[in-house]
């Protein structure tokens, strides 16, 4: 993945503070980026890889073109969506379940058993159980979710079994005739599924998400060779989505939350933690807490550190500082954002390569449009004889 290797310093240096990332200065991109109007920044943020970089410095245009090329994957063809009415199923999740089932069913019909890892409410588990005549098992580590999955109705002749299991702790014992599936199986869970399927020759259908959700500080490549080792802290970049297609909160709310986080980071580095890395300001708090007013967010973050809350004057000064620096950071973050999908595709290719090395036949591509969910990269792998 030369495009990632060649711009690794851009990925590593997250803009947000007073300075300008050295990698942008060295490439001569900072002047162009800081000169973009509000409208141009917004257009680039929404368009993502499809943005028009016509007036940009040559290197930046080349990066955009290379990233677009790397991310131009097969668009998997699925039949028109079936009617699906299930309790607790949103319209977008229904579209994901439908498309996932369309690609998984032909593989499942050749399997002896299906395991849905990180099954959540079990919508996909039930959909497959109702359309197959073989054992279907949902594995979920959250006891409340597993209980809800069991309680939801199904028309399956043989109801799926929902089992409480933390797969990272308990392991994933597969058989060669299994199909293991995961719809939005996060980070390390996706890798665990790929490794388990590769080991025994089981089939796999996986749409991953939240690659940063893993226990160690580094994601080691499964395929080895030239594939990169990726620090966990940087994998969160792969979660970035242009526009507000297919995500729960609006773009405006997300931008306001990011500005508030910057203000919080500023407050924390000024008072208690001068070396706190950007992004660590929410450590110990739920990501959604950044949707609250700055005063409440700061009070919580300071209380976590046993500090008194900032004064109204401190809060006002931090908010003003953050408004200015957030506007700069949005501009300077545009090249880094171009690499977000590349990072996600890199992990997809690493998983695909590992399965190929173990003798699987592999297919990958996008399974639904971004408007359904930006986490839409699917991996299909089979080794049935
Ligand atoms: C993003 S949700 C997806 C849920 C469901 N597959 C869907 O698409 O609606 C990820 C699910 O994986 C579960 N999970 C995360 N880590 C797990 C683990 N180590 N073992 C089992 N389940 C896990 C979470 O509790 C959550 O329900």
The pLDDT assigned to 242 comes to 66
> Binning pLDDT at 50, 70 and 90, where does residue 26 land?
very high
Rounded CA separation 328/205 (Å):
41
Mean pLDDT to the nearest integer, 129-154: 96
> Does the Cβ of 183 fall within 6 Å of ligand 1?
yes
What is the spatial distance between Cα 308 and Cα 241, in angstroms, rounded to a whole number?
Answer: 35
- Establish whether residue 140 lines the binding site of ligand 1, counting it when its CB lies within 6 angstroms of any ligand atom: yes
128 CB near ligand 1 (under 6 Å): no
What does the H/E/C string look like for 114-131?
EEEECCCCCHHHHHHHHH
CA–centroid distance, 252 to ligand 1, in Å, is 28
CA dist., res. 7 & res. 237, Å (int)? 14
Q: Which atom of ligand 1 is nearest to the CA of 96?
A: 8
Please identify, by atom number, the ligand 1 atom nearest to the C-alpha of residue 120. 27
Q: Please state the atom number of ligand 1 nearest to the C-alpha of residue 185.
A: 10
Helix (H) or strand (E) holding 136: strand 136-140
Distance 142 CA to ligand 1 centre (A): 8
From 116, 141, 173, 215, the mutation candidate for ligand 1 (largest count of ligand atoms within 8 A of CB) is: 141
Q: pLDDT tens digits, residue range 28-57?
A: 999 999 999 999 999 999 999 999 999 999
Q: What is the pLDDT of residue 245?
A: 63
All domains of the chain, ordered by start, with CATH? 81-237+343-382 (3.40.50.150)
* Nearest in space to 161 (alpha carbons), one of 141, 136, 179: 136
Q: Which atom number of ligand 1 is nearest to the Cα of residue 139?
A: 21
- 252-281 tens-digit pLDDT: 898 999 999 999 999 999 988 999 988 899
Q: Is the CB of 179 under 6 A from ligand 1?
A: no
Q: Residue whose CA is closest, atom 1 of ligand 1? A: 184
The set of residues, in sequence order, having a beta carbon less than 8 Å from that of 151 and lying 6+ positions away, is none
Closest CA to 375 of 187, 168, 230, 141: 187
H or E element, residue 380:
strand 377-382
User: How confident is the model over 323-330, as a mean pLDDT?
Assistant: 96
Q: Return phi, psi of residue 337, to 5°.
A: -65, -30
């Amino acid at each position: 993945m030369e495009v990632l290797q060649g711009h690794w310093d851009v990925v590593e240096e997250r803009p947000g503070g007073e300075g300008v990332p050295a990698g942008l200065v060295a490439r001569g991109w900072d002047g162009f980026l800081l000169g973009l109007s509000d409208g141009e920044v917004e257009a680039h943020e929404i368009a993502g890889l499809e943005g028009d970089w016509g007036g940009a410095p040559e290197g930046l245009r080349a990066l955009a073109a290379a990233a677009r090329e790397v991310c131009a994957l097969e668009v998997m063809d699925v039949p028109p969506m079936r009617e699906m009415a299930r309790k607790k199923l949103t319209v977008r999740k229904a579209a994901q379940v439908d498309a996932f089932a369309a690609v998984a069913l032909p593989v499942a019909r050749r399997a002896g058993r299906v395991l849905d890892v990180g099954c959540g409410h079990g919508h996909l588990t039930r959909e497959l159980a109702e359309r197959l005549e073989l054992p279907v098992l949902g594995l979920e580590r959250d006891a409340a979710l597993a209980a809800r999955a069991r309680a939801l109705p199904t028309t399956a002749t043989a109801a799926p079994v929902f089992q409480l299991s933390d797969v990272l702790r308990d392991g994933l014992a597969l058989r060669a005739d299994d199909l293991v599936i995961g719809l939005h199986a996060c980070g390390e869970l996706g890798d665990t599924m790929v490794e388990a399927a590769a080991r025994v020759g089981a089939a796999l259908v996986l749409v991953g998400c939240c690659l940063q959700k893993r226990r160690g500080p580094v994601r080691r490549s499964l395929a080895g060779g030239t594939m990169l080792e990726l620090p966990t802290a940087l994998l969160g970049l792969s979660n970035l989505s242009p526009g507000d297609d297919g995500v729960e909160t609006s773009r405006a709310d997300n931008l306001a939350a990011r500005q508030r986080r910057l203000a919080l980071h500023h407050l924390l580095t000024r008072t208690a933690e001068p070396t706190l890395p950007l992004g660590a300001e929410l450590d110990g708090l739920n990501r959604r807490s950044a949707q609250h007013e700055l005063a409440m967010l700061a009070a919580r973050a300071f209380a976590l550190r046993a500090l008194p809350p900032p004064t109204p004057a401190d809060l006002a000064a931090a908010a003003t500082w953050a408004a200015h620096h957030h506007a700069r950071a949005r501009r300077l973050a545009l090249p880094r954002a171009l690499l977000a999908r590349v990072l996600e595709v890199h992990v997809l290719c690493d998983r695909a390569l590992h399965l190929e090395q173990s003798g699987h036949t592999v297919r990958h591509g996008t399974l639904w449009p971004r408007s359904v969910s930006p986490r839409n990269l699917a991996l299909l792998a089979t080794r049935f004889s």
